[in-house]
């Protein structure tokens, strides 16, 4: 049985149906841009797997051809490139830059959270495995209230991208395993289990306090030790990881306090269509992403008000758009788009009333090549032969398209037929599944694509979002909006770093080294050096961190260097001499 890895100071690892079709359209209007200036709050909403066609299909399904989703009423509109890189790649522009044109959710989350390109499956590190701080870690260190909401497991790629650092996204917990957590293609050999990059994501989230409000699914990733750690850090824990009792909507409605942790399903939260089809099921009582967003805003606003009005940063993910697109279930996908857009409305309504909130709505990647095809037509997967290119008016334009030899068609393609849905514009006699329904939807595959994704924005700082940006640009845009880049910051506070180690040690035995940084709010990363050479990088979060290091026989000079943060200056400890005999 593999033992669970527990690290006492993982905090801030690096831092420094058709029901409702057309409903609500009368209340929609294009959102006017508020006065320019710095934002106090940022709400970043992410429709996982949501491509441009997902948005169009959602609009036509629920609001009609001439309607708009709430996100489409926002005044700033653009598109985002989403490519990742291969393992051990440098960043764009470097000689060793090797792009991967189709990203996964982990590398995409790292791009906007940390501003670096990385390989698929990596979180909070660059393509070579180096730790990269996240916006949410920086916001937390600067004293802002922070929140993370998702309809997926909270340890899954998108929410984890703001609160953890991992060589492999599968290292979620509750237990450590080398197969899930290590990646020798990046590190050469297995890292010690004290290294945050191989610490289960659930362990990190339960201990690093990066997010004050954590709402979503994934209770089975956490256990009794995690519950104790959360409560020790001041969280109001809804339900119980110890007994695997999921939180309820009633728990959410009654939740209060500056820190709240609530997971409403042991796995991913339940899709909206299932809740509609099974209204008496326990899952139907789970809160919607809009309800979680509303509660998170209330909690974060209250914490900000009690903390000098520094503001808040909230990330919200509609995760099941992607997961149902992978499954090629258009009916489920459409309902998830609507549910996510309802959360957008919650954020947008708050921003309009507040006047100091930047709202960004985008996606991490497109999923499955979702498409709207002409009524009465069919997909290539159903065709007897692929489309041909013959231009009888100008034969010079004719060609035989290049296709790989394995593009072979098997018999019986009915499973790939389009899914048809009625829209607001259809007569009442038209039903979902009818050939006469207006909206014909298909999928290209069951996987991600490399298409650019849409972005919508409203509020102070939204002008920084141009028509075409890369996903890494969003890191700087959010940091600037919240003045985390120093553009609106006060003078940094001095920090003090200390290192303790025994004066003598026995050869062949590991030496216990203790590192601490004060004030306690000075969280982030510390490098332990031996005669100037880095031997270990650790995370600090208000308490001393103890690590064991194997030193060669001889005399050593150890120092600890704190990297600093957006609020605290770097500092270096006095040198400690250790003689290994």
Residues placed in the known binding site: 48, 156, 158, 317, 322, 326, 364-365, 448
Specify whether the CB–CB gap between 161 and 330 falls below 8 A: no
Respond yes or no: is residue 105 known to be catalytic.
yes
Contact 190, 184 (CB under 8 A): yes
Give the C-alpha separation, 118 to 109, whole Å: 10
Contact 207, 8 (CB under 8 A): yes
CB neighbourhood size of 294 (10 A): 20
CA atoms of 113 and 478, how far apart (whole Å): 9
Q: Give bridge partners of residue 36 from the DSSP assignment.
A: none
Which residue has 């993370």 as its token pair? Answer: 148
Check 3, 81, 105, 495 and give the catalytic one: 105
Tokens of 234: 């001041």
Cis amide leading into 337 (omega within 30): no
Whole-number Å distance between alpha carbons of 255 and 236: 8
Contact 513, 192 (CB under 8 A): no
Q: Report residue 281 as tokens.
A: 């099921």
Cis peptide before 324 (omega within 30 of 0): no
For residue 375, the cross-strand partners are: none
The closest alpha carbon to 358, from 72, 136, 39, belongs to 39
Two tokens, residue 411: 């018999």
Evaluate whether 96 touches 145 at the Cβ level (below 8 Å). no
Active site amino acids: 105
């Amino acid at each position: 049985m593999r033992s669970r890895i527990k690290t006492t100071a993982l905090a801030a690892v690096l831092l420094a149906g058709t029901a409702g079709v057309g409903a609500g359209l009368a209340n929609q209007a294009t959102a006017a841009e508020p006065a320019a200036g710095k934002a106090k709050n940022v709400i970043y909403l992410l429709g996982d797997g949501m491509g441009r066609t997902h948005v169009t299909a959602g609009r036509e399904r629920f609001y009609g051809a001439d309607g708009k989703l709430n996100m489409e009423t926002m005044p700033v509109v653009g598109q985002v490139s989403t490519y990742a890189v291969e393992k051990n790649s440098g960043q764009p522009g470097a000689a060793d830059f090797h792009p991967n044109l189709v990203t996964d959710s982990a590398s995409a989350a790292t791009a906007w959270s940390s501003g670096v390109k990385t390989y698929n499956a990596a979180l909070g590190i660059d393509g070579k495995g180096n730790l990269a701080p996240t916006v949410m870690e920086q916001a937390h260190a600067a004293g802002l209230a922070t929140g993370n909401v998702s309809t997926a497991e909270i340890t899954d790629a998108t929410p984890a991208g703001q609160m953890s650092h991992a060589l492999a996204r599968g290292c979620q917990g509750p237990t450590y395993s080398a197969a899930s957590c290590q990646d020798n293609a990046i590190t050469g050999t297995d890292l010690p289990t004290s290294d945050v990059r191989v610490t289960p994501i659930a362990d990190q989230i339960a201990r690093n306090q990066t997010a004050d409000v954590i709402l979503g699914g994934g209770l089975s990733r956490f256990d009794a030790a995690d519950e104790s750690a959360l409560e020790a850090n001041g969280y109001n824990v809804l339900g119980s990881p110890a007994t695997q009792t999921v939180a309820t909507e009633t728990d959410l409605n009654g939740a209060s306090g500056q820190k709240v942790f609530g997971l409403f399903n042991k796995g991913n939260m339940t899709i909206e269509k299932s809740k509609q089809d099974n209204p008496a099921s326990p899952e139907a009582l789970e809160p919607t992403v809009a309800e979680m967003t509303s509660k998170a805003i209330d909690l974060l606003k209250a914490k900000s008000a009690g903390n000098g009005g520094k503001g808040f940063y909230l990330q919200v993910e509609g995760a099941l758009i992607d997961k149902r697109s992978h499954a090629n279930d258009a009916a489920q996908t459409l309902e998830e788009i609507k549910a996510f857009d309802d959360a957008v409305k919650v954020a947008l309504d708050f921003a309009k009333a507040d006047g100091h909130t930047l709202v960004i709505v985008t996606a991490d990647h497109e999923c499955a090549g979702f498409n709207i095809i002409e009524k009465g037509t069919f997909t290539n997967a159903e065709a007897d032969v692929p489309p041909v290119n013959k231009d009888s008016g100008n034969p010079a334009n004719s060609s035989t398209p290049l296709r790989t030899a394995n593009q072979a068609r098997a018999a019986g393609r009915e499973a790939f037929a389009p899914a048809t849905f009625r829209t607001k514009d259809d007569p009442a006699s038209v039903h979902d599944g009818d050939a006469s329904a207006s909206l014909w939807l298909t999928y290209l595959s069951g996987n991600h694509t490399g298409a650019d994704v849409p972005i919508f924005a409203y509020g102070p700082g939204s002008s920084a979002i141009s028509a075409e940006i890369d996903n890494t640009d969003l890191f700087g845009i959010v940091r600037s909006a919240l003045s985390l880049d120093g553009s609106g910051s006060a003078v940094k506070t001095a920090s003090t770093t200390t290192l303790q180690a025994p004066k003598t040690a026995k050869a062949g035995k590991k030496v216990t080294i203790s590192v601490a940084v004060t004030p306690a709010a000075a969280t982030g990363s510390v490098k332990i050096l031996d005669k100037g050479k880095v031997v270990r990088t650790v995370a600090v979060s208000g308490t001393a961190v103890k690590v064991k290091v194997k030193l060669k026989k001889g005399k050593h000079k150890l120092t600890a260097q704190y990297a600093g943060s957006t609020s605290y200056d770097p500092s270096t400890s006095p040198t400690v001499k250790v003689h290994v005999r």
